Structure 1
Amino acid sequence: MQRPMRGQGMRNMTPEQRADQQAQRLTKQLSLSADQTTKVKSLALAQQQERQTMRTQASADRQAMMQNMKASRDKYEEQLKGILTSDQYTKYTQMRDERMDKMQGKLQDRKGKKGKMKASTNG
């Protein structure tokens, strides 16, 4: 399977593709057993399908969508914790936090560039 491009490509992925990618990443990074991989993939698919439904239903109400997404993420984390060993879960949370920090940095960079562009076009 070809790996989709980052950014827009990720948005065009189906819930099944996202779940598969998520399971593959965790299997590789956490050295999951075959049984764990199957369970993680099933859990990820359920979460991705739920998120897809939320996106379509709540597109007009961003606040409600964000709350629903957080609840879904919390439920996923709790179920994932039951699948992984404590060492795997610790490593997973570290990787998740690093990924979130990286995403926050990219968002800040994007906001900064937009601000500079607006300032230069107004002058």
Structure 2
Amino acid sequence: MLKKLIVGGFLFSLFSLPLFTQQATAQDVPAQNRAERRGRTMQDVDPATRAQRMTDRMTKQLSLDEATSKKVYDLVLARAEKMDAIQKNSDDRKTKMQAMKAGTEAFQADLKKVLTAEQFAKFESMRDQMGRRRGGLNREKADDNGSK
């Protein structure tokens, strides 16, 4: 019986050793690939960083000039801060979702004033593509489901 325990302990330590060394090396490498970033949510990143990332993406894809880019950044930052406040302050899921939807609609209305009609249409197309890539419904399907 004692021999079995010793052999079992030895085998366990032998097979678990590579697992411990793998974890140590994975922690030393910065989390840059998607698999490692999956555990983080956007709420883990501060609003200014999120706003800058979105503005950079929009500036590049919508070919925004410097002045428009600054206005978009201000709008995106205000939205990010508002969404964080809603997430932190609302306990009721339904209330939170309604407040977030109202914030999104207000953001889109303000954004529509800043962007040209062509840029705004391209922005909506980008947003729909992002929703599909993340496995969500596109806006048309969401509207159909919401009206039933």
TM norm structure 2: 0.64
Q: Which of 6, 29, 48 is the matching residue for 2:80?
A: 48
Kindly state the Cα deviation for residue 11 of structure 1 after the two structures are TM-superposed: 3.0
Kindly state the Cα deviation for residue 98 of structure 1 after the two structures are TM-superposed: 1.0
Q: Which of 34, 39, 45 is the matching residue for 1:13?
A: 45
Between the aligned partners of 1:7 and 1:34, the Cα distance in structure 2 is 34
Between the aligned partners of 1:82 and 1:6, the Cα distance in structure 2 is 34
- Closer, same or farther in 2 for the Cα pair 1:66/1:9, shift >3 Å? closer
TM norm structure 1: 0.77
Gaps of 5+ in 2: 1-31, 137-148
Aligned length: 104
- Closer, same or farther in 2 for the Cα pair 1:7/1:70, shift >3 Å? farther
Kindly state the Cα deviation for residue 101 of structure 1 after the two structures are TM-superposed: 1.7
Gaps of 5+ in 1: 106-123
Q: Which residue of 2 aligns with 1:113?
A: none
Q: Which residue of 1 aligns with 2:106?
A: 75
Report the identity percentage. 34
Between the aligned partners of 1:63 and 1:103, the Cα distance in structure 2 is 22
Kindly state the Cα deviation for residue 74 of structure 1 after the two structures are TM-superposed: 0.3
Aligned-residue Cα RMSD (Å) equals 2.1
Kindly state the Cα deviation for residue 28 of structure 1 after the two structures are TM-superposed: 0.6
Q: Which of 113, 116, 126 is the matching residue for 1:85?
A: 116
- Closer, same or farther in 2 for the Cα pair 1:84/1:7, shift >3 Å? farther
- One-letter amino acid of the structure 2 residue matched with residue 31 of structure 1: S
Contact 2:50 2:80 in 1 (8 A): yes
Q: Which residue of 1 aligns with 2:143?
A: none
